[in-house]
């Protein structure tokens, strides 16, 4: 990892911890706010530790992009949890002549960047 990349990753981690420190839930209830703050800290800690040994520059770039996307979406919608994708079970391909394997491939391709690591951790 280059020093510039390392600084960017550490900066993102600091930014997430700062967001968690200042987080207010959409409902305004103190109990819910505390749960969401704890979720943000735990999710960041888990994902950053999971990816600490990644050395491939492309994979590092993907992780950074996912982190930035999750930060922006969380701040925009005021929801710290990843927003699920809503796709009908067989909605991406024609049912005639297509196999389930192809359907799964299309679902994987269509998954938003901010959900790539969510399935692995949850």
Question: Average pLDDT, stretch 19-33?
Answer: 94
Residue 72 inside a domain? The answer is yes
Between CA 65 and CA 110 the distance in angstroms is 16
Residue 22 inside a domain? The answer is yes
User: Sorting pLDDT into bands at 50, 70 and 90, what band is 122?
Assistant: very low
Residue 100 inside a domain? The answer is no
Residue 91 inside a domain? The answer is no
Give yes or no for a contact between 46 and 38, defined as CB atoms under 8 angstroms apart.
no
Give yes or no for a contact between 23 and 77, defined as CB atoms under 8 angstroms apart.
no
Residue 89 inside a domain? The answer is no
Q: What is the pLDDT of residue 33?
A: 95
Residue 103 inside a domain? The answer is no
Radius of gyration from C-alpha coordinates of the chain: 17
pLDDT tens column, 92-113: 455 555 566 766 666 666 666 6
Give yes or no for a contact between 85 and 110, defined as CB atoms under 8 angstroms apart.
yes
Q: What is the pLDDT of residue 1?
A: 77
Number of structural domains the chain divides into = 1
Structural domain boundaries enclosing 14: 3-84
- Indicate the average pLDDT of the chain: 82
Residue 60 inside a domain? The answer is yes
Question: Average pLDDT, stretch 61-74?
Answer: 91
Residue 113 inside a domain? The answer is no
pLDDT tens column, 36-47: 999 999 999 999
> pTM value?
0.72
**Which DSSP symbol is given to 83?**
P
């Amino acid at each position: 990892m280059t020093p510039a990349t390392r600084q960017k990753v550490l900066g993102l981690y600091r930014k997430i911890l700062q967001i968690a420190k200042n987080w207010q839930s959409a409902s305004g209830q103190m109990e819910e706010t505390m749960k969401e703050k704890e979720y943000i800290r735990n999710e960041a800690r888990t994902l950053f530790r999971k990816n600490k040994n990644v050395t491939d520059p492309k994979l590092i770039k993907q992780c950074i992009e996912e982190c930035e996307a999750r930060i922006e979406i969380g701040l925009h919608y005021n929801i710290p949890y990843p927003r699920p994708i809503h796709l009908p079970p067989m909605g991406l391909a024609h049912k005639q002549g297509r196999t389930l394997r192809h359907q799964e491939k299309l679902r994987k391709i269509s998954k938003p960047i901010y959900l790539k690591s969510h399935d692995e951790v949850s």
